[in-house]
Amino acid sequence: MKLLLATRNPGKLAELRRILVGGPLDVLGLADVPEFPDTPETGATFAENALAKPATRSPPPGSRPSGTTPGSPSTR
């Protein structure tokens, strides 16, 4: 199963991949899918910024990583 992490930050991707090593998830970043507009990080905390991304953006049509289905946690 693929998990799209809404970031282009290689440090965030590496950390999540390290945490999930050996698990069933293949962690992808925005650089791994067709162009996806950035969401400005204007929140006061990491959590606020992380929550703003899926709330304000949807992947462009046809850009859903293979192996995901609409409404699955990796596409919300």
The CA distances from residue 7 to 11, 73, in Å, are 10, 16
Per-residue pLDDT of 40-66, as tens digits, reads: 889 999 899 888 877 655 555 565 555
Apex 59 CA angle, 56 and 63, nearest 5: 175
pLDDT of res. 41: 86
Model pLDDT for residues 5-31, shown as the tens digit of each residue: 878 899 999 999 999 888 888 898 888
pTM over 0.75: no
Containing 48, the helix (H) or strand (E) segment is helix 46-56
Count CA atoms within 13 Å of residue 51 on its CB side: 6
The span from the CA of 53 to the CA of 29, in Å, is 13
